[in-house]
Amino acid sequence: MIMKYIKFILIIAATLLIGSCSSEKLDSNSIFPTESPERNAFDTWLLNNYTASYNIAFNYLYKDNDTDQSYNVIPAEKDKSIALAIMIKHVWLEAYLEYCGVNFIKTYSPRVMQLIGSAAYNTNGSMVMGTAEGGLKVMLYNVNAIDIDNPYIDVDNPYVDKTNPTKDLNYYFFHTMHHEFGHILNQKKNYSTDFNLVSAAKYKSTDWINLNDANAPKLGFVSGYASSEASEDFVEIYSIYITHTEACWQKILSDAVNGTDTSGRDAIIAKFNIVKNYFKISWNIDITELRDVILKRFGEVKTLDLRNLK
């Protein structure tokens, strides 16, 4: 008898429960566009050469959510974006591809590159050349200053004339790319904290702006910006070393000696050795060999057709 009641109750409960379920139809259309956007020749080239090959979104059009709203900036010119895309592929992506292999560059390259036409200016008067965010995105500014028909890459001079930004693509783009990529690699694998101790007392924070590049070596830094903080110091050593000749590096070291005071040179060498070891041990990269590949590819830029996509 009791079992009967229980069964009866269960049947009623099950019926009620099933009855209480209301099914709502899901919209079969996605709210995200699923059709391919219209692509011009440059878009298609980017799809093949950046997105399909390296999983990189190369944004030459201004996107508000990919840019820093605190700066007044303007979008990049299309023909200059094309020239920069061709050059970055040759001297940056393919340099790592050649030396480190396809898996390395596919794994660690930034996922987004955002171009901006003008420079971004800080309130202290300094100019932002590039930023890297969380290993994900690299921003490149001042694209409209590129002289497409006269690409100039200075690998000999460590102290660039910053008043004439149109001239040296190395300083304003390629050195910047390596600098930001250095941050990305540091975010994946930490470097030895011994590095932070070498020049610990000499970092200048925002006052780095008042240290000329030419005066930086005597204080133990390879550039004025390197004196801002240890993490910037690390990637400045990396990026300046691999984008300049040995003679240029030696010039920095010799300029770091002030009479009998060799403390500047000693600091740079001590930090350089940590940088070199880090890349060798953490990434199996001999930065001198990588430099050879990069400099060879810099030399080939003049042979590239920067106006026509292939």
Chain positions contacting another protein, by CB under 8 A: 1-2, 5-6, 9, 12-13, 16-17, 19-20, 22, 24, 27, 29, 31, 38, 60-65, 69, 71-78, 117-123, 125, 144, 161-165, 167
Least separation in angstroms between CB 304 and another protein: 22
Q: Is 198 helix (H, G, I), strand (E, B) or coil?
A: helix
Q: Apex CA 82: angle with CA 300 and CA 135, to 5°?
A: 85
Nearest to 143 by CA among 163, 127, 119, 164: 119
Give the rounded distance of the alpha carbon of 8 from its chain centre: 70
Decide if 78 contacts 307 (C-beta within 8 A). no
Nearest to 171 by CA among 155, 184, 183, 182: 155
Nearer to another protein, 61 or 214 (CB): 61
Nearer to another protein, 40 or 205 (CB): 40
Least separation in angstroms between CB 177 and another protein: 21
Least separation in angstroms between CB 40 and another protein: 9
Nearer to another protein, 62 or 104 (CB): 62
Least separation in angstroms between CB 105 and another protein: 28
Q: Is 156 helix (H, G, I), strand (E, B) or coil?
A: coil
Give Cβ neighbours of residue 165 (< 8 Å, ≥ 6 apart): 119, 127, 142, 145, 172
Nearer to another protein, 33 or 259 (CB): 33
Nearer to another protein, 51 or 122 (CB): 122
Nearest to 58 by CA among 87, 99, 96: 87
Least separation in angstroms between CB 43 and another protein: 11
